[in-house]
């Protein structure tokens, strides 16, 4: 068994979906993901992105990000992200929540799952310290309350570390809950406040093997064929590689080398 490598949208945050697709394809990825901004997503953006996907024979791993707001009420913009994912053939949609009440978050998650039915997409709830769902335990409880077969869990290696989890905990999870995962490296420790966690998430990531996180141990504790999305949201990489294709290629090369050196099979 081997893992698919996908280029996460967060690696190229300043680029539009069409540009992300072309960079991913040119860099040798078979899969990629997109950030969908509802106010910028129209028929022209859809056509351009679909053309780029077709030109490089790409598959779309995910679209992001649906933020469940405080109060748990979903809006048209949330549905537009789901609809974009369906139109692009995405396998998953990434969801986070600002709603502190688990029941309301679970209800919203269930509605999102219903909306994804036309595309048979999974709805992957991510836990991280800058949202209301801050641990794997909390995320799993919400997924259980949502009670929908499309509801899933998203593990991101940096947020997994910040929550204080251990790789062995992943071995206890049912494989069906994990449709894909996001991986990166980073500093082992982080300041315990919102600003530090935010900077850590959006600027201070690095490729696997370039930081202090137990990335290989986490991946080895996950299902052997789970797709790996390279979420290298890094100020250093943005500065060093302003060109989208060059950045995507650098991220892929460094990550492949690390994974292969650690006996992790990828394709």
pLDDT digit string (tens) for 112-165? 999 999 999 999 999 999 999 999 999 999 999 999 999 999 999 999 999 999
Region 56-73 average pLDDT: 98
pLDDT digit string (tens) for 73-110? 999 999 999 999 999 999 999 999 999 999 999 999 99
Structural domains counted in the chain: 1
Q: How many CA within 13 A on the CB side of residue 18?
A: 13
The verdict on residue 266 lying in a domain is no
Q: Which two tokens stand for residue 123?
A: 């709805």
In CATH, what number is assigned to the domain containing residue 171?
3.20.20.150
Task: Give the per-residue pLDDT at 1.
Answer: 73
pTM of the entire predicted model: 0.96
Region 200-227 average pLDDT: 96
Domain that holds residue 26: 5-261
What gap in Å lies between CA 154 and CA 7, rounded to an integer?
Answer: 16
């Amino acid at each position: 068994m081997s893992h698919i490598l996908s280029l996460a949208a967060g690696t190229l945050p300043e680029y539009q979906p069409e540009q992300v697709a072309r960079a991913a394809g040119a860099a040798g990825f078979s899969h990629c993901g997109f950030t969908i901004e509802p106010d910028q997503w129209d028929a022209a953006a859809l056509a351009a992105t679909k053309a780029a996907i077709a030109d490089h024979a790409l598959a779309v791993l995910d679209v992001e990000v649906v933020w469940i707001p405080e109060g748990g009420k979903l809006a048209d913009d949330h549905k537009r992200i789901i609809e974009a994912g369906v139109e692009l053939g995405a396998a998953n949609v990434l969801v986070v929540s600002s709603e502190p009440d688990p029941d309301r978050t679970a209800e919203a998650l269930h509605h999102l799952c219903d909306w994804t039915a036309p595309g048979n997409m999974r709805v992957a709830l991510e836990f991280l310290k800058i949202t209301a769902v801050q641990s794997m335990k909390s995320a799993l409880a919400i997924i259980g309350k949502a009670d929908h077969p499309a509801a899933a869990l998203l593990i991101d290696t940096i947020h997994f570390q910040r929550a204080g989890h251990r790789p062995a905990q992943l071995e206890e999870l049912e494989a069906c809950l994990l449709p894909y995962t996001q991986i990166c490296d980073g500093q082992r420790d982080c300041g315990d406040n919102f600003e530090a966690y935010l900077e850590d998430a959006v600027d201070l990531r690095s490729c696997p093997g370039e930081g202090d996180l137990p990335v290989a141990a986490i991946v080895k504790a996950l299902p052997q064929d789970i797709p790996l999305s390279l979420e290298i949201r890094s100020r250093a990489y943005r500065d060093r590689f302003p060109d989208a294709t060059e950045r995507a290629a650098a991220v892929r090369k460094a990550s492949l080398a690390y994974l292969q050196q650690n006996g992790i099979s990828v394709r």
